[in-house]
Amino acid sequence: MFGIGFDEFLLIIIIAILFLGPDKLPEAMVKVGRFIKSVKKVMNDAKHSIESEIKIADLKEETLKYKKQLDTATNDLNVFKNVNINPAKEINDAIGTAKDTFNGDTASTPKETIHPPRETVTFKKNSLKNEEI
């Protein structure tokens, strides 16, 4: 149990019988047994709580790793995507302006139309004529 062999345990029992007497010995053994049981329970609870804390720390670390990967992917995608453009609104505005202009109704058209900023992407076109020569 606590590194005590049978000989040492027997010696402790004999000393306990001499000091406590045969009448109080069973009651003392029950109290010692309950004390050892409660100590084991406390030790097991502490062990389980430490293991759960370690598991939570591992989960937090893994979650932060995934969050960093998602942030990197999001930043990479934002380079290619213009979030400020709303195609449906632009089409509706263009149709409304075209209808007003076609009907000749200049009073209902706003004097100043505000359009969202547009980003243009240009690609260099390689000429085949230069490569063939």
Question: Against a cut of 0.75, is the pTM above it?
Answer: no
Q: What is the pLDDT of residue 97?
A: 73
Q: What is the pLDDT of residue 35?
A: 92
Q: If we measure between CA atoms, which residue out of 79, 86, 96 comes closest to residue 116?
A: 86
Tell me the average pLDDT across 35-61.
91
Domain ranges in the chain are: 1-81, 84-119
Q: What is the pLDDT of residue 52?
A: 87
Q: What is the pLDDT of residue 16?
A: 82
Q: What is the pLDDT of residues 78-105, one digit of tens each?
A: 776 655 556 667 677 777 776 666 565 5
C-beta contacts of 85-93 below 8 A and 24+ residues apart = 85/116, 85/118, 86/116, 89/116, 90/115, 90/116
What percent of the chain has a predicted confidence (pLDDT) above 90? Answer: 12
